[in-house]
Amino acid sequence: MIPSVCGFSGESGAGKTESAKLILQFLAAVSGQHLWIEQQILEATPILEAFGNAKTVKNDNSSRFGKYIEIYFNNDGIIEGAKIEQYLLEKSRVCQLAADERNYHIFYSILMGMNTEQKKLLSLGTAHEFDYLTMVRYAVLRSAVFDNLDCCELLESKHLSVATKLLEVNPLELKKALTHRSIVIRGENVTTPVSKTQAASSRNALVKGIYDLLFLWIVKKINSVINTPTTKGPGKVCSSIGLLDIFGFENFDSNRYLESLKCLARQTMLVDVGNEDGDSNVPPFFSFEQLCINFANEHLQQFFVKCVFKEEQEEYVQENINWQHMDFIDNQRTLDILAVKPMNIISLIDEESKFPKGTDTTLLSKLNNHHSKSMVYIPPMSSHGTMFGIAHFAGLVHYEAKGFLEKNRDQLSSSIIQVVQTSKNKFLKLIFQSSIGPAQGRSQSQRQILPGSSIKKTDSYKQFSTLSRQFKQSLDSLMKTLRACHPFFIRCIKPNEYKKPLLFDRELCVKQLRYSGMQETIRIRKSGYPIRFTFMEFVQEYKILLRPLPQQVKEENDHLFLTLERDRVLTARATLILKVLRGFKDRKTFLRLKYAARTIQNHWRGYLYRKRYQT
């Protein structure tokens, strides 16, 4: 039996996650057994939302990760288990927030749910007192000059003491790992101080790494409960239904974009050293994570276009059906420049991230050199600009190139990993040991330089897997899974931009319907032949509506064609392609069965009453 998949698509805040939850609840209800496993699957959703959802400008409960839930059924339609796959958690949100946005729900829930004694035990206060909830530093970094090098010093503070206490690591070792870099030169370990920005990046990398590994552990733990072995044996063939709830397409309108440009200009004119480590509120420009999110949406849109338009019309041509080609909006050109053609944007980001001297400026220069003539790539407006644009299927989106490589490298320094591995906290060691292998030991903070070699040619940079490569591989695997399933596409339309109920913005809704291809979809469904059966499948489904059929298959086919209207059915080489509304036929089937049931009931009641009267 071919598995099915329901793909939810739409803008951020359109209701994809809520729709997926409704279908999940429906599947659990129609299963009819109300087993423990069904309840566990439903109860996993709020846990994932607590750790993976956050308030954004466009959505108060925005999913900051993608998930694919595969639900397994036995031959009786009873749920046997499920499996959850997660994609690209936005871990940078833990340490960097845009204006008018919040961190993950779990942080605020913990602070609100704990009593005073519990908070005191963990040295917690209110949300306003914490670094990554209000962007106030937990460890004070200050710039200094040391032997003509840009370096920093980590001052003693209660925040550092609390952090080392909770992590159960040596304070001196943690301070050294954050503020120094180790390089092995000719067998000798050389330690040098790092700048304030580099130290802040190391601190952020540690926090992001802990949260990301914690989230992976939660997903793995949930799967260990709900992913039970499927039943095997005669008559117990399992099928599955997948629910794909991917991140919504993200974009801002032109007015908000212009306001952001003004905000950036004001910040550029002001000397604000607080922005060096990316800790203060920033304008809502799109960065690396949003590029990955929109890249995933481009893949899903192309999958929709291929299933609904390309393959549909190709089948009509192959089956010699008289069909006039129907035009549609194809986003293949955007997908090509992102990840298909040689020197595409994803591969350039991946390549530049592996060069020790690669910067966001050199990356942007390469993007301009390779794609400036493309119709879907918009280069910066000036030679000093750091923003580039991509014409996505849902509209033009501008991305801020600053920070791309740092986010894509996604590497913890070996010195920080060593500090964590010496921790007395068993859970912390567990999540790191299960996710970080020995091959990841080297990164920017520690690498070996041999005689006659240079840092630029070191192999350690070319061996680690970047975030863009991991995401592309996961996305390719997901698309392979989708292509093996029977797809159902669910378009979620956002009614307004104000997150208000019972408010309908006609212009916004029409815009979403147009770029999602709904107009062309309705047209091809109306003009085409969307219902497909083999001859025998059609006979088994609808023979109750016909007179008694001959035994020979060929005679049955002839009988069908004499019965059905010629303008509503076409005979393909191996398929019966219908234009008739299936609901009308199903209604006739129901009426025929209803009449038969009444006849049987009348005869049975008459028999019972006659028997009682005789006795």
**Residue 15 assigned ligand-binding role:** yes
Active site residue 62: yes
Active site residue 63: yes
Which of 248, 403, 517, 528 is catalytic? The answer is 248
Res 86: pLDDT: 93
Active site residue 12: yes
Q: Are 102 and 135 in contact (CB under 8 A)?
A: no
Residue position matching structure tokens 């990760």: 65
Domain(s) labelled CATH 3.30.70 in the chain stretch across 531-614
Which of 9, 12, 415, 516 is catalytic? The answer is 12
Residues 6 or more apart from 112 whose CB is under 8 A from it?
none
**Residue 452 assigned ligand-binding role:** no
Which of 59, 201, 443, 466 is catalytic? The answer is 59
Which sign, positive or negative, has the C-alpha torsion 102, 103, 106, 110? negative
Residue position matching structure tokens 């200094």: 144
Residue 148 has pLDDT above 90, yes or no: no
If one compares 589 and 594, the residue with the highest pLDDT of the two is: 594
Alpha helical stretches, state H, 270-403: 288-305, 311-318, 332-335, 345-353, 360-371
**Residue 156 assigned ligand-binding role:** no
Which of 80, 250, 298, 556 is catalytic? The answer is 250
Tens of pLDDT, residue by residue over 267-287, are: 333 333 333 343 334 344 688
**Residue 17 assigned ligand-binding role:** yes
Tens of pLDDT, residue by residue over 342-384, are: 899 999 999 999 888 889 999 999 999 999 899 999 999 888 8
Task: Please state which of the four CATH numbers 3.40.50.720, 3.40.50.300, 3.30.420.40, 1.20.58.530 is assigned to the domain occupying 269-407.
Answer: 1.20.58.530
User: What residues form DSSP beta bridges with 68?
Assistant: 85, 244
CATH fold label, 531-614: Alpha-Beta Plaits (3.30.70)
Active site residue 311: no
Residue 262 has pLDDT above 50, yes or no: no
**CATH class assigned to 124-213+412-457:** mainly alpha
Which of 9, 17, 251, 344 is catalytic? The answer is 17
Q: Quick one: DSSP state of residue 168? A: T
Residues 6 or more apart from 327 whose CB is under 8 A from it?
520
Residue 261 has pLDDT above 50, yes or no: no
Q: Are 391 and 376 in contact (CB under 8 A)?
A: yes
Percent of the chain with pLDDT strictly greater than 90: 35
Q: Are 528 and 308 in contact (CB under 8 A)?
A: no
**Residue 16 assigned ligand-binding role:** yes
- Which one-letter amino acid corresponds to residue 312? E
Residue 180 has pLDDT above 90, yes or no: no
Which of 45, 56, 62, 201 is catalytic? The answer is 62
Res 312: pLDDT: 86
Residues 6 or more apart from 34 whose CB is under 8 A from it?
28
Most confident of 413-422, 484-493, 528-537: 484-493
Mean pLDDT of 20-35: 85
Mean pLDDT of 296-307: 92
Domain(s) labelled CATH 1.20.120.720 in the chain stretch across 124-213+412-457
Lowest-confidence range among 101-105, 465-469, 487-491? 465-469
**Could you tell me the CA-to-CA distances from 250 to 90, 191, 195, 292, 428 in Å, in that order?**
14, 43, 34, 10, 34
Helix or strand run (H / E) with residue 85: strand 79-87
- pTM for this model (two decimals): 0.78
Active site residue 414: no
Q: Is 343 left (phi over 0), alpha (psi -120 to 50) or beta?
A: left
Active site residue 59: yes
Instruction: Provide the token pair at 234.
Output: 């005669």
Mean pLDDT of 87-93: 89
**Residue 615 assigned ligand-binding role:** no
- 312 vs 188: CA distance, rounded Å: 65
Tens of pLDDT, residue by residue over 498-515, are: 989 899 999 999 999 998
Res 282: pLDDT: 39
Phi, psi of 253 (to 5 degrees): -75, 170
Degrees to nearest 5, angle at CA 523 with 520 and 527 = 140
Res 253: pLDDT: 52
**Residue 11 assigned ligand-binding role:** yes
